[in-house]
Each structure stands twice: as C-alpha cells, then as structure tokens.
Structure 1
Amino acid sequence: MFSLASTGTISRDGITNESLAHFQTAWPGEKIEKDDIFYYTYGLLHSPDYRTRYAESVYKNLPRIPRVKTAADFWAFSRAGRTLGDLHVNYETVERYPVTIKQGDLRLADIKNPEAFYRVTKWAFGKNGKEKDKTSVIYNGNITMQDIPLEAYDYVVNGKPALEWVMERQVVKVDKASGIENDANRYANETMNNPAYPLELFQPVITVSLRTMEIVRDLPKLEVME
C-alpha cells in the first residue's frame, strides 16, 4: 500500500501488529519481522498443497493464511516467497532464455528497418501435424522461436500460462466496445525505444516461469498448526 506525502511516495506494510504477534508467538526465540511474514504468505500461496487444501477459501473468500508446524518450514516458505517476489517484480530484467530462432541468429542479421522487422500483430504456436506445437512460437513472418521448453507453460497466472499472457497482450488489437486500437508496437517503439521489446519480453518470462516452477517444486510439504 502506498500513499503520497510532501517528501514523495512512501510505502506502508500490510501486516498488522496482531498478525506479527500471531506468528511470533508460534515460534518463541525466532526473530520474525513483518516482511518475513509478507514473503511467507507469498511463498505459501504458490504451494500446490495450499492451493488444494484451501481451494474453496482462495476462490470464494479472503485466503486463509495458516501457521506451519515448524520454524524451519516458515523460513523455507519465506525465503521462497522472497525469491519469487524478486523474480516476478523484476521479470523484465531477468536473463533471457536462449531460444533458437529458426531464421538464424538475429544478432548477426542486417536489419535495415527494425520497426518493420520486429512488428508483431498476432502470435501463433507452431504445428505438429494437426496439433499445436508449443515448443515453437511464430512471432511474425520474420521470426519463429523454437526449442521453448514445455515445462515453462506450467507456470500459470490467473488460469493461463504466463507465456500465453505475453502472447495475448503483445499484439495489435481493437477493443470492440470502444473501437480503440491497442498496439504493442507503439509502446515498444515510443516508450521502450526498442522495436524488439515484445520478442525480448517473451524470453525472460520463459526464464521466470522455469525458475518459479523449480522453487515451487522445492517448497516443503504443507503441515499446519491449526
């Protein structure tokens, strides 16, 4: 939560003192601060065990945040949440996954008009016979990405793989209600000063997706106090 003051924007935590005491009393002697609880919660919300056990609560009410049985598990979830938070907030700066470009190494290409070369209107998956081939993504007529690991699609955000959110949003699309054209290329060229931005966004999201799932697989089994 943020608010504006005369000195600029200041941040305020969303953890109450009651919540802090609730967790501190669970493991006397542990030095638990509010940010530890924040990241614990973020890590916990990524736990497959948590999502299964509290599915109804998550979808219908405010998520229930239980205390795990051991301090070791608390810190494991908190550390995981901290790493996940850094990944997800700074996803644009994460290293790009080294996909193969079917047409060749773009770093060696003589691109005379980058805005035209990298212009994207609609992404598409490759084909394996009649089936979609998600290891291959057609960015535009000049660029097809290959060797995309299928496990990257396991990272799902709001019911859809994060990679598919990129493919859906980084396009040219007219809003039916307003008639306004949303053009990802305009943002890439005018705001990011990088015509290749939509393409280059897809690659770090592959890395984020893979790392996220690695962290999720290493989370402790969920055993709660109450």
Structure 2
Amino acid sequence: MPSFSALATNLVPNIHLLDTGQGFMHYNNESSDGSLIPVERDNVSEEFAEKLGMTKEETYAYVYGVLNLPAYQTKYANDLKKDLARIPILKDKEQFAKIGQALLDLHINYEQVEPYQEVLINGLSYGEFIHGQHDYTIKEMKHEKVRNEAGKSVSDLSTIIYNAGIKITHIPLRAYDYVVNGKPAIEWILDQYQIKTDKDSEIVDDPNQFSEDKRYIFDLLLKVINVSLKTLDLIEELPKLELDSNL
C-alpha cells in the first residue's frame, strides 16, 4: 500500500499533520515588496495552468485529483518519499479537475458532511437513537474484540464501542480502505479523540470539551465514515494514469 497521502485543509496546519509532510497554499497573503500590507496572491503556476488550458482554480483541483490517484501514488512511490511531487499532464484533464474539486470540497468541509446512517447504534437506526436521551461522553473509543477461527482475540472493525452505553455496529469494512498518513481515517478518530494525560505536565486533554454540542464526537465519527466512503467512490471515478501525448 502506498504510504503517500494528500489532504486538503482550509486551516494553517502543523507541518506534522501528515508525518514529515509539506504544505502548499493555494493563496499567499504575504507582502511581495517587504511592506506590512499583505496582498492575496494565487500560488498556482500560470505557466502550468496555461499548459493544461485551465484556470488556476481548475489547475489546483487537477493537482489534487492526480495526487489522490492510487496508480500515481504507486508508480511514483519511491520519488514521493524523497522529493516534491511532480505533476504530469494526463489525458482526461477535465475529469481529474472535476473529481479533484469534489475531493477538495469533501475533505475541507468534512464537518458539514451528513453522518453515515447505515449503521446501527445499540440495535437502533441513527434517527431512532438520537431522539433518545444518551450520555455521549467518551473516554476511549475502541473496536469490539471477537475470536477468529484460530481462537485468537482480534478487533471487529465493523463494531466500535463508543462508550459504556453506546455501541455502533454494521460499519462497512470498505470505509477502512481510505487511508491517511498510513492509517485509516476512522482509526485516526479513535486514536485522537480520547482522554489523555501528559506524563510530564499532567495536563489532561479531554476532547469532550472541544464543543458545546454533546453529540459532536459521535457525529464526527459517523461523518468520517461517510467521508471515507465518498472519497473511495470519487477515487474510483478518476481516469487512468495516461500521459497526454499531445503535450
């Protein structure tokens, strides 16, 4: 599995959002003449946009589409580990730009995506469950443990124990195929959204305090499941890795 990942955000990220990653801003508001007055500038190469025959917005989306193409990640895996990503000019450029824009919108606005509702929560549908009174406080989400054919205890990826009173089942295993920085996006939620205490400072990191919405983490988990599935659907629609012989 390729280790390269591309992830869009509308916030200024820590450089380790993706391990040893690099960030490329669509716009740059730094001053070009040393003055204190920032001027928003588009960082997309005019020369490359002209070669593609696209606007800068379309070019930015085209690049994101190419970076998310599994065949590209596999073919150039060694180069992507040690060098900047180099973007080829491919056939079906418009389709790459169209799907790339859909991926940008999906990843940047992941919190606005509808929660995935084809799961069962305590045996109830999403709509039935959320109309009841529940404690959504989390300590550490985890997969339920089951015995495999060899009798070994393994994680059941289709089930997440949200807290002592909430169990989410029927999670589609396909959702785990969307991997960011070497780990399924769903697993990042389980890893990051838990109560942790720093050993040195003894400061407690409690994600339950991140939002006044008591269902924020619960819905976020279901949204990321939906984002994962939608991302995989869009990636499957990307054209083949074929160079444009006319350029």
Q: Which TM-score band (shorter chain)? A: 0.7 to 0.9
Q: Does 1:209 find its partner at 2:228?
A: yes
Separation in 1, partners of 2:63, 2:158:
33
Separation in 2, partners of 1:156, 1:166:
12
Separation in 2, partners of 1:9, 1:163:
38
Contact 1:44 1:50 in 2 (8 A): yes
Separation in 1, partners of 2:185, 2:69:
17
Corresponding residue for residue 29 of structure 2: 3
Separation in 2, partners of 1:42, 1:106:
37
**Residue correspondence of structure 1 range 63-102 to structure 2 within 5 A:** 63-68=85-90, 70=91, 73-98=92-117, 99-102=119-122
Q: Structure 2 vs 1, CA of residues 19 and 213 (structure 1 numbering), >3 Å: closer, same or farther?
A: same
Q: Does 1:17 find its partner at 2:39?
A: no
Contact 1:101 1:145 in 2 (8 A): yes
- 1:212 CA drift (Å): 0.5
- 1:167 CA drift (Å): 1.1
- 1:59 CA drift (Å): 1.6
Contact 2:95 2:239 in 1 (8 A): yes
Q: Does 1:176 find its partner at 2:196?
A: no
Contact 2:68 2:235 in 1 (8 A): yes
**1:93 alignment partner AA:** Q
Corresponding residue for residue 140 of structure 2: 122
Question: What SS is found at the alignment partner of 1:202?
Answer: helix
Question: What SS is found at the alignment partner of 1:121?
Answer: coil
Q: Structure 2 vs 1, CA of residues 10 and 101 (structure 1 numbering), >3 Å: closer, same or farther?
A: farther
Separation in 2, partners of 1:107, 1:22:
51
- Spell out structure 1 runs of 4+ moving beyond 6 A: none
RMSD: 2.1
Structure 1 portions without partners, runs of 5+ = 25-31, 112-116
- 1:127 CA drift (Å): 2.0
The counterpart of 1:40, out of the listed 59, 62, 66, is 62
Separation in 1, partners of 2:102, 2:75:
24
Q: What is the TM-score with the length of structure 1 in the denominator?
A: 0.84
Deviations 1:144-199 (A, max 9, x none): 100100000111111111111111111111233543221100112xxxx2122111
Structure 1 or 2: larger helix share?
Answer: 1
Question: What SS is found at the alignment partner of 2:217?
Answer: helix
Separation in 1, partners of 2:39, 2:100:
23
Contact 2:52 2:93 in 1 (8 A): no
The counterpart of 2:84, out of the listed 56, 59, 62, is 62
Corresponding residue for residue 75 of structure 2: 53
Identity score, percent: 37
**Alignment length (residue pairs):** 205
Question: What SS is found at the alignment partner of 2:29?
Answer: strand
Q: What is the TM-score with the length of structure 2 in the denominator?
A: 0.77
Structure 2 portions without partners, runs of 5+ = 1-26, 32-36, 148-152
- 1:9 CA drift (Å): 8.6
